[in-house]
Amino acid sequence: RCGKLAASESHDGIGSQPAELTEDDAAASTSAEAAAPEETADSAGNSREKASIFVAYSPEADFLEKRFIARLVKELKAVGLADSVWFDKDEGLFESSAWVACSLEAAEKCFAAVLFLSESFFSSRLALHTMRTLAERLHDNRASLHLFAVLLDAEGQSGLERQCPPILAEAIRRGDGDASAASLVDIAESRRRGAAEYELIAQCSARLAPQLERFATDFRPLLPEPLLAPGYTGQFASKRFLAWTVNDLQEWLHSLDIREFYRQQFAEQGVDGFLAYSLTDADLAGSLRVDVQLSRKKLTREILNRLQAEQRDSWSGRCRLTKPRPGCVFLVCDPRRDAKTRDALKLALERRRVRVSHVEELDESRDDFLRKNGPAMAACGHVLVLLTEHSPRSAVFYHCVMFAEWLGRRVIVLFLTNCWFQLRPALRALLYDAQGLDFSGQPVADSLDELGSAIVAPERTHPAVVLEQSYVRKLARKLPPAGYLAHTSGEPMYSCWVVRAGRERDRMCISIDIHYNFEATLALFINFFAILLA
């Protein structure tokens, strides 16, 4: 059922285990099923069912771009869309361990999406995954999603034409078929000429708000932030820096003995922890008028120290700081239904001197599950995603893949069953560019050799060792993208890679290290060819 890895026989012992669980195994896994983390983020309280309008932007944007986006979203919420707009800043998810999972999940569930296109947007990895998730949704059902875009600079216009998926660009330009519909708002030229930010916000709000009201699930204006009470409470110290409000940042600046004039500039600009995260020396000197260089250096140093201390104190931050061990992999699969296949693959990889880890503990919530298994994944340099018929319905599979993306680990997709089109749009978008290996299109031993060479770099130079030409080519080539393998499953996937029977089977390649006793190697050559000719 799970391809040759679970159905065929080989010398590695893979395939001798049945793909399906027996009745005893199913009974033993009942408790594990009850303890599995929820598939959605709603159980953690980080996602709201009412949020029907998704805001997509670049997390790597500069201070001015983020300030414009934050103010425009605040303006849209003030006109009655407070419960309908999903913005990761207001959800408290920015740069958290659940950030990628909840962002892409919100992109899957929304009725409308607003994209802020700029140069940084098309260079952001998360923004790329967001675009692909929205494009996958349009491929599945074009009527399920409505797109709006705001062009922030000239690079955003060129990116819309060249880097945006064609179906996404067409949906943005087409709108709802009404020429008066403001599906695309271009303020790049106005920003270049130096137009006031509040004028641009008013322009975008006037054109977007009437269109977005059609997708609102509930109309409720945004409640204003309470004014700073007399005296300081010190509550900011127990919060994450990125979750600080304007009042929290003001209290922190007061604790650093920053001049009152500078603190007033921060308050007037509405700078909170989200915006202070992107501050540079040029932003402090230009936008916030901090003209004393010593004060600017003090602020940037204290912000950096605060962020580094929070990263060291949190389990997720320590995971990101963990240096992966070479030759170590983490297996991602459904821990209940694919346990035997996972164990067989683990045994085969360990015989090839690869250290293997996998999910050891399940828990009721997503955060607790990641807290227990995240450090093991962070210690591995590669994450092997076992794609079986059970993967599309597995909550553990989904959250492990999302956490691997947040860690920035290299992912290799192993196609045991081609259920690519049954995966959620976010998973398809995230795994599209990952390396893929098809276990059903060639012998298991050959697939394991390729997988081992992709994990542990093989020695390409062997003194006086005779190697088959097919083996040399197999080690030299790179694994194709998983999206390519998924879309070519009806054809011979490895038609241009697998060595066919024929004359090429009889070819040999002799690899020699010329720095290793050349005279002895030459004598070995003469004797070898003499034996062949005889």
In the 8-state DSSP scheme, what is residue 109?
A: H
Residue 393, classified by CB atoms within 10 Å of its CB into exposed (0-12), middle (13-18) or buried (19+), is middle
In the 8-state DSSP scheme, what is residue 271?
A: -
Q: According to the 3-state scheme, what is the secondary structure of 174-215?
A: HCCCCCCCCCEEECHHHHHCCCCHHHHHHHHHHHHHHHHHHH
- The pLDDT value recorded for residue 232 is 72
* Nearest one of 101, 108, 173 to 135, comparing CA atoms: 108
In the 8-state DSSP scheme, what is residue 526?
A: H
How many other C-beta atoms can be found within 10 angstroms of the C-beta atom of residue 227?
Answer: 7
* Nearest one of 299, 311, 216 to 253, comparing CA atoms: 299
Judge whether residue 497 has pLDDT over 70. no
406-to-66, 184, 326, 438 alpha-carbon distances in Å: 21, 31, 19, 25
With a CB cutoff of 8 Å and minimum separation 6, the contacts of 27 are none
Q: What is the homologous superfamily of the domain 235-313 according to CATH? A: Transcription Factor, Ets-1 (1.10.150.50)
CATH number belonging to domain 50-215: 3.40.50.10140
pLDDT winner (highest mean) among 174-183, 227-236, 406-415, 519-528:
406-415
- The pLDDT value recorded for residue 10 is 41
How large is the average pLDDT for residues 47-67?
Answer: 86
The yes/no answer on whether domain 4-17+324-459+472-494 falls in CATH 3.40.50 is yes
Q: Tell me: the pLDDT tens digits for 358-377?
A: 998 887 788 889 999 999 99
Residue 364 C-beta-side C-alpha neighbours within 13 Å: 1
- The pLDDT value recorded for residue 525 is 61
- The pLDDT value recorded for residue 454 is 84
How large is the average pLDDT for residues 66-81?
Answer: 93
Residue 349 C-beta-side C-alpha neighbours within 13 Å: 26
For the whole model, what pTM was predicted?
0.78
Instruction: Give the burial string for 207-218 (b: 16+ CB within 10 Å, else e).
Output: bbbebbeebbee
- The pLDDT value recorded for residue 50 is 61
CA distance 309 to 430: 30
CA distance 97 to 101: 8
How many other C-beta atoms can be found within 10 angstroms of the C-beta atom of residue 525?
Answer: 13
- The pLDDT value recorded for residue 422 is 93
Q: Tell me: the pLDDT tens digits for 312-360?
A: 999 999 999 999 988 899 999 999 899 999 999 999 999 888 999 999 8
Domain locations in the chain?
A: 4-17+324-459+472-494, 50-215, 235-313
What six digits make up the tokens of 331?
A: 């297996």
Instruction: Give the H/E segment covering residue 293.
Output: helix 293-313
CA distance 301 to 256: 12
Q: Tell me: the pLDDT tens digits for 436-465?
A: 998 877 788 888 888 888 887 655 555 555
Residue 402 C-beta-side C-alpha neighbours within 13 Å: 28
Is it true that 4-17+324-459+472-494 and 50-215 share their CATH fold?
Answer: yes
How large is the average pLDDT for residues 392-404?
Answer: 93
CA distance 244 to 233: 14
**Average model confidence (pLDDT) across the chain:** 80
How large is the average pLDDT for residues 299-304?
Answer: 96
Q: Which parts of 408-506 fold into alpha helices (H)?
A: 425-431, 444-455, 469-476, 482-487
Judge whether residue 208 has pLDDT over 90. yes
79-88, 135-144, 481-490: least confidently modelled range: 481-490
3-state class (DSSP) for residue 44: helix
How large is the average pLDDT for residues 178-207?
Answer: 84
